[in-house]
Chain A
Amino acid sequence: MSMLSVDRLRKEFGGVQAVVEVSFAIEAGRIHSIIGPNGAGKTTLFNLVNGLYAPSGGRVSFLGCDVTGLRPYELAARGMARTFQNLQVFFNMSALENVMVGCHLKSDTRLLPSMLGWPSIARGDRATRARAVELLHEVGLDAWVDADAAAMPYGALKRLEIARALAAEPKLLLLDEPAAGLNPTETREIDRLIQRVAAAGVTVLLVEHDMRLVMDVSDRIIVLNFGRKLAEGTAQEVRRNPEVIAAYLGTAAAQGAGSRHA
């Protein structure tokens, strides 16, 4: 049984065909990457897989169940977590609280005990808080635990999103350009973090622009172009694929690093 499989998935926005008949399957316990030029449909694909968008056609199955049309919170409950290319941080909270919200699924959210301030609620909250501090440590944000998210720098927010996603103890983690906009040192740290996460048994699906990062860490790579799957294989195979070179590596080489921020 594959962890995630996507069958002839399609998404149109008005006239724009963002994702066209994409199919692939992902096995548990590896790092998989999706690459492709800007506007290739990578983020849209994530939004389809994670239930934020309803597909125009095709199916998604997760852990052997058809999950097409399920809402993101239902997928989260089944073990799918993600981060966002354009940050979706709770800017009205501290870093710690952001991660604590990530623990929502394991929290006691009964209304009356919460309102009446039952001791069990406070106890649960203390445990959640401890776990959140631990996760912030794991992603290297010890210095920012009590900071307001709104006051944190971009690079720290990227890692905060990863910590929040990990808080739900996911089986599958979708990372949308986690290194976009980071400097080479920060990128290397993210690189190591992703490998640690995968080593801990979380399957990672990574969208990344930074070619070096992708080639280094991915076990398998899927290449998208104009919403279609162009190729799939190991880093070696993809690198040698002439279509990929023409469509992606060629343009990336021509554009240089400038395209990384998109």
Chain B
Amino acid sequence: MRLRGLMQARTGGLLALALVIAVLPLALPNNFYYQVAVLVGLNAIVCVGLNLLIGYAGQISLGHAGFFGLGAYASAVLTAKFGWPAPLALVAGATGVALLAFVLARPILRLKGHYLAMATLGMGIIISIVINQEIPLTGGPDGMPVPGFALFGLRLTGDRTWYWIVGGLLLLSVWLSLNLIESPVGRAFRALHGSEVAAETVGIDTARFKVLAFVVSAVFAAVAGSAFAHFAGFVTPVEAQFLRSIEFVTMVVFGGMASVFGAVVGAAVLTALPQILTAFHDYEMIALGVVLIGTMILMPRGMLPSLAALTRRWMR
């Protein structure tokens, strides 16, 4: 039955992801590749969260880099300038972002389609401009250094350590969002994607569930941002920039909307690709543009769903 198939796909997917994370180091020749892998993981966490909003609840956001940036700067500022312990700064950042997202969500998510795109975009840009301009606090466009992450007196340093931490965080995020998707809450998300009118008439407070999806996805982004700040040891406003928001959305759509593992695949491909393309130097952007356009034309539903459909057709 479909139900059992789903369960298998879910635990199977989780196991497969854990396996990939576990054996990938065998294929990583040096620290540079570990760094790329960590960046993949962090982007994937953001995308898994963002996919709840875009892929499942059907609400676009072009401003999630703002939340990523706020998480990163909360950790940076609170630890570097106020001497807070890193875990506390992370929690404070995530809580602050959750509150901000909660306050903004209701008026913003009343909007639909392109108006929603505009409002989320504006929100993200305002956040990034604030980070840019509050120089005494954030160091402005030059960025600021971030102390290492210490947990119970244990300092987390080195790309390999971070690899395992981010790998664990990614597994956790995937597990949390799989749970959510298969609960009544997840069904409510998908219902408002399918038909808001019908969702309302069966008793779903659509405004409440949109806010919920928005807040949850914002918190995923904030936590990833905090981890990024400590991992990189330095943050700049680039992390909160509009283009970064676009990157996140692109990863989600590229990998496959409404597919948790698709979001992971999208983040992996689009994070690793530019690193590989730097070999082509100036042609990097050209190649990236062509890949984006080509993939979206050939696989409008994203890589993972399209490839899955293809293999299913083959199997028959």
Q: Which residues of A contact B202 (CB under 8 A)?
A: 73, 76, 81, 101-102, 104-105, 164-165, 167-168
Give the distance in Å from the alpha carbon of A7 to the alpha carbon of B195 in the complex. 30
Give the distance in Å from the alpha carbon of A101 to the alpha carbon of B196 in the complex. 12
Q: Which residues of B contact A84 (CB under 8 A)?
A: 197-198
For chain B, residues 164 to 213, give those with C-beta under 8 angstroms from any C-beta of chain A.
Answer: 175-177, 179-180, 182-188, 190-191, 193-195, 197-206, 212
Is A183's beta carbon under 8 Å from chain B? Answer: no
Q: Which residues of B contact A72 (CB under 8 A)?
A: 197, 200-201
1/0 per residue, CB under 8 A from B, across A59-81: the answer is 00000000000011100110001
For chain B, residues 224 to 258, give those with C-beta under 8 angstroms from any C-beta of chain A.
Answer: 258
Q: A114 and B180 in contact (CB under 8 A), knowing A109-B185, A146-B1, A168-B203?
A: yes
Q: Is the CB of B201 within 8 A of A114?
A: no
Q: Is the CB of B183 within 8 A of A89?
A: no
Q: Which residues of A contact B188 (CB under 8 A)?
A: 101, 104, 109
Q: Is the CB of A116 within 8 A of B198?
A: no
Of B3, B191, B206, most buried by chain A (CB within 10 Å of CB) is: B191
Q: Which residues of B contact A236 (CB under 8 A)?
A: none
Q: A111 and B198 in contact (CB under 8 A), knowing A104-B184, A104-B204, A121-B183?
A: no
Q: Is the CB of A128 within 8 A of B184?
A: yes
Q: How far is the CB of A95 from chain B (nearest CB, A)?
A: 11
Is A107's beta carbon under 8 Å from chain B? Answer: yes
Give the distance in Å from the alpha carbon of A124 to the alpha carbon of B180 in the complex. 14
Partner of B183, one of A50, A114, A167, A168: A114
Q: Which residues of B contact A146 (CB under 8 A)?
A: 1-2
For chain A, residues 116 to 132, give those with C-beta under 8 angstroms from any C-beta of chain B.
Answer: 116-117, 121, 124-125, 128-129
1/0 per residue, CB under 8 A from A, across B67-110: the answer is 00000000000000000000000000000000000000000000
- Say whether chain B's binding surface is mostly helix, strand, loop, or mixed: helix
Q: Is the CB of B205 within 8 A of A73?
A: yes
Q: A90 and B201 in contact (CB under 8 A), knowing A101-B187, A115-B176, A128-B184?
A: no
Q: Which residues of B contact A128 (CB under 8 A)?
A: 184
For chain B, residues 275 to 294, give those with C-beta under 8 angstroms from any C-beta of chain A.
Answer: none
Q: How far is the CB of A129 from chain B (nearest CB, A)?
A: 7
- Say which size band chain B's interface belongs to: 20 to 34
Across chains A and B, the number of contacting residue pairs, with CB separation under 8 Å, is 119
Give the distance in Å from the alpha carbon of A50 to the alpha carbon of B177 in the complex. 33
Q: Which residues of A contact B187 (CB under 8 A)?
A: 93, 97, 100-101, 104
Partner of B184, one of A88, A109, A168: A109
Is B216's beta carbon under 8 Å from chain A? Answer: yes
Give the distance in Å from the alpha carbon of A76 to the alpha carbon of B199 in the complex. 10
Q: Is the CB of A92 within 8 A of B183?
A: no
Q: How far is the CB of A173 from chain B (nearest CB, A)?
A: 11
Q: A76 and B184 in contact (CB under 8 A), knowing A91-B194, A116-B176, A116-B179?
A: no
Q: Is the CB of A73 within 8 A of B204?
A: yes
Give the distance in Å from the alpha carbon of A100 to the alpha carbon of B205 in the complex. 16
Q: Is the CB of B191 within 8 A of A101?
A: yes
Q: Is the CB of A125 within 8 A of B184?
A: yes
- Of all chain A residues, the one with the shortest Cβ separation from B194 is A90
Is A52's beta carbon under 8 Å from chain B? Answer: yes
Give the distance in Å from the alpha carbon of A91 to the alpha carbon of B58 in the complex. 13
Q: Which residues of B contact A17 (CB under 8 A)?
A: none
Is A82's beta carbon under 8 Å from chain B? Answer: yes
- Of all chain A residues, the one with the shortest Cβ separation from B193 is A92
Partner of A52, one of B184, B200, B205, B258: B200
Give the distance in Å from the alpha carbon of A71 to the alpha carbon of B197 in the complex. 11
Q: Is the CB of A73 within 8 A of B203?
A: yes
Beyond the given A102-B202, A111-B185, A115-B183, could you list 9 further A-B residue pairs with CB under 8 A, ordered by the A residue number? A52-B201, A73-B200, A100-B187, A101-B199, A111-B212, A111-B216, A114-B180, A114-B186, A128-B184
23 CB < 8 A contacts A-B: A72-B197, A72-B200, A73-B200, A73-B201, A73-B204, A73-B206, A76-B203, A84-B198, A89-B198, A91-B194, A93-B190, A94-B2, A97-B190, A103-B184, A104-B187, A104-B204, A105-B202, A108-B184, A109-B188, A111-B212, A114-B180, A125-B183, A129-B3
- Enumerate chain B interface residues (CB-CB to A < 8 A): 1-3, 175-177, 179-180, 182-188, 190-191, 193-195, 197-206, 212, 216, 258
- Enumerate chain A interface residues (CB-CB to B < 8 A): 50-52, 71-73, 76-77, 81-82, 84, 88-94, 96-97, 100-105, 107-109, 111, 114-117, 121, 124-125, 128-129, 146, 164-165, 167-168
Pick the 3 closest A-B CB pairs, nearest first.
Answer: A90-B194, A76-B203, A107-B184
